[in-house]
Amino acid sequence: MEIRLNQVGKKYKNIVALNEIDLTIPQGMFGILGPNGAGKTTLMKILMALLPADTGEITINGIPISQRTKIRECVSYLPQEFSFYPYMSVLEAMDYMALLVGIKSVVKRKEIINELLVKVNLIKHKRKKFKTLSGGMKRRLGIAIALLKDPKVLIVDEPTAGLDPDERVRFRTLLSEFAKDRIVVLSTHIVGDIEHTCKNIAIIDQGNIIFCGERQHLMDEALGKVRVVEIKCEELSDIQSKYYVISINEANSGYSVKLITDKKIGEEVKPNMEDAYLVKMLSHTSDARSNFQELLC
Ligand code: ADP
């Protein structure tokens, strides 16, 4: 089970959204991380066969993306904003969508809907109208609907946008469970969305894949580049002008500043996922790179 992209390129007039990327997405949870405008949505739309790529080849579990009907049978999408008819209940929404995906037998529909609502923990809310559901419930209903056709691939855009911390954890756990025998692709600009769930990730920036591999490798690459320095209050602006500052905390009579550098200043700290992402982005982007390299010399 895997998604393979080979030299996939996409332009909108003169904007390069994807720059001939190569990517292999294995079974399990896979995170696609990148800033706004990086090309994530374009990539997701191409994977769903909603948008054709200009160049390259894509296969999903061996099926070429050009076989759109087959691809749509095995790929489901959960958008960031999941909306539905406000006065429909959870049960009505599920039944309506089950009919649309072609489950004709009433008995079968009941059985599948019941099973899915239990899985996403919405069974006790099945009579609630869509408009009365919380953000987390709406997203869980979205998953249940996306799973009606038992897809082999589930694509989720900005997984935790608008969810409170408790709902976030539950939603991530749910996705991890589904990923046991599927591919779940999470596209996000929020490091926390993939920090605890995706073993494998890709980082995309300006249409290029700048990292692809195990999350741990990204963290290992950042070792030695994240340091904490204790400074006086009046030194802050100087530090900010010289270094990429990750965070500033009040400490004693000044500040404790976490920053990115190769210089042996302050104390080295173990990078977390967000630090590692910033180190990668900084060493890659052309504007930042020249600044960064000045700092390294
Ligand atoms: P992301 O999802 O990472 O924010 P997108 O795939 O939406 O990135 O966008 C990638 C680039 O392509 C951006 O520069 C964006 O402005 C541009 N873009 C996206 N969609 C269109 C479009 N329909 N027409 C023109 N440019 C677009």
Is the pTM value of this prediction over 0.85? Answer: yes
* 189, pLDDT greater than 50: yes
Do residue 207 and residue 240 come from a single domain? no
Q: Across the chain, what does the average pLDDT equal?
A: 90
Residue 50 Cβ contacting ligand 1 at under 6 Å: no
Do residue 198 and residue 251 come from a single domain? no
- Per-residue pLDDT, 294: 47
CATH number of domain containing 43: 3.40.50.300
Do residue 178 and residue 250 come from a single domain? no
CA distances from 109 to 22, 78, 114, 239, 297 (A): 40, 21, 8, 62, 65
Do residue 188 and residue 50 come from a single domain? yes
Do residue 204 and residue 232 come from a single domain? no
Q: What would the DSSP string read from start to end of 100-141?
A: HTT---HHHHHHHHHHHHHHTT-GGGTTSBGGGS-HHHHHHH
Do residue 233 and residue 256 come from a single domain? yes
* 295, pLDDT greater than 70: no
Do residue 144 and residue 274 come from a single domain? no
Residue 41 Cβ contacting ligand 1 at under 6 Å: yes
Q: Using DSSP bridges, classify how beta strands 63-64 and 208-214 pair: parallel, antiparallel or unpaired.
A: unpaired
Do residue 206 and residue 253 come from a single domain? no
Contact 246, 259 (CB under 8 A): yes
Residue 46 Cβ contacting ligand 1 at under 6 Å: no
Give residue 272's region: left, alpha or beta (phi > 0; psi -120 to 50). Answer: beta
Do residue 211 and residue 228 come from a single domain? no
Contact 205, 38 (CB under 8 A): yes
| Of the residues 215, 233, 264, the one at which a domain ends | 215
Residue 175 Cβ contacting ligand 1 at under 6 Å: no
DSSP state of 195: H
Q: How many domains does the chain have?
A: 2
Q: Kindly report the number of other CB atoms within 10 A of residue 269's CB atom.
A: 12
Do residue 36 and residue 7 come from a single domain? yes
Residue 271 Cβ contacting ligand 1 at under 6 Å: no
Domain that holds residue 204: 2-215
Do residue 199 and residue 228 come from a single domain? no
| Of the residues 166, 187, 215, the one at which a domain ends | 215
* 140, pLDDT greater than 90: no
Give residue 85's region: left, alpha or beta (phi > 0; psi -120 to 50). Answer: beta
Site to probe by mutation for ligand 1, drawn from 11, 18, 42 as the one with most ligand atoms within 8 Å of Cβ, is: 42
Do residue 38 and residue 176 come from a single domain? yes
Residues in a beta bridge with 32 = 187, 202
d(CA 60, CA 267): 46
Alpha-carbon 231 to chain mean position:
36
Residue 32 Cβ contacting ligand 1 at under 6 Å: no
* 54, pLDDT greater than 70: yes
Chain segment 114-131, per-residue pLDDT in tens: 999 998 889 999 999 999
- Per-residue pLDDT, 13: 93
* 68, pLDDT greater than 70: yes
Ligand 1 centroid, distance to 10 Cα (angstroms): 10
Residue owning the nearest CA to atom 15 of ligand 1: 37
Ligand 1 centroid, distance to 208 Cα (angstroms): 13
| Of the residues 215, 240, 262, the one at which a domain ends | 215
* 287, pLDDT greater than 60: no
Chain segment 72-114, per-residue pLDDT in tens: 889 998 877 778 899 999 999 999 999 998 899 999 999 999 9
